[in-house]
Amino acid sequence: MTTILAAYDRLVEVGIGRRTELAATLAERGHTITATDIYQRDVPERVQFVRDDIVDPNLSVYADADAIYARNLPPELHRPARDVARAADAAFLFTTLGGDQPAIPVERQTIQAGTLYVSTHPESSRDA
């Protein structure tokens, strides 16, 4: 996932939780990373944190993103996150929990951890 996300300069991770290693790795490699979660979270020094709910988002958090990504995103959040990415004209990439299938149109990419889903919304010029 790191290799694919490295194609983008400015990224927002939705629902970072306690798994900060991906955001930290991208930030260490020079990418601008903003992490969001509905709960206050500790993040690595080079990662900016913003408390936000993707279902009721502050769109300014995502406005400058080249890509929005999420790991283990539950199906009920696929559409809201995709809609935020559309509003920001950003690519939207995500993984799901176990056997959950994507609730939106996607292209699939095989990664070490399983499958990375890339939202297909043709009106965006930034889709991967």
Q: Residue 58's domain is classified under what CATH number?
A: 3.40.50.150
Nearest CA to 23 out of 15, 33, 14 is that of 33
pLDDT for the residue numbered 110: 93
> Would residue 109 count as lying in a domain?
yes
> Would residue 31 count as lying in a domain?
yes
Q: Model pTM?
A: 0.92
Angle at 37 between CA 31 and CA 41, to 5 degrees: 85
Q: Which long-range contacts (CB under 8 A, 24 or more apart) does 103-111 make?
A: 103/75, 103/76, 103/78, 103/79, 104/78, 104/79, 109/4, 111/1, 111/4
User: Residue range 63-87: average pLDDT?
Assistant: 98
> Would residue 50 count as lying in a domain?
yes
DSSP letter at 34 equals E
> Would residue 127 count as lying in a domain?
no
Structural domain count of the chain? 1
> Would residue 126 count as lying in a domain?
no
128 has a pLDDT exceeding 90: no
> Would residue 125 count as lying in a domain?
no
CA dist., res. 13 & res. 17, Å (int)? 10
> Would residue 124 count as lying in a domain?
no
CA dist., res. 119 & res. 22, Å (int)? 20
State which residues form the domain around 18: 2-119
pLDDT for the residue numbered 127: 42
pLDDT for the residue numbered 42: 97
> Would residue 8 count as lying in a domain?
yes
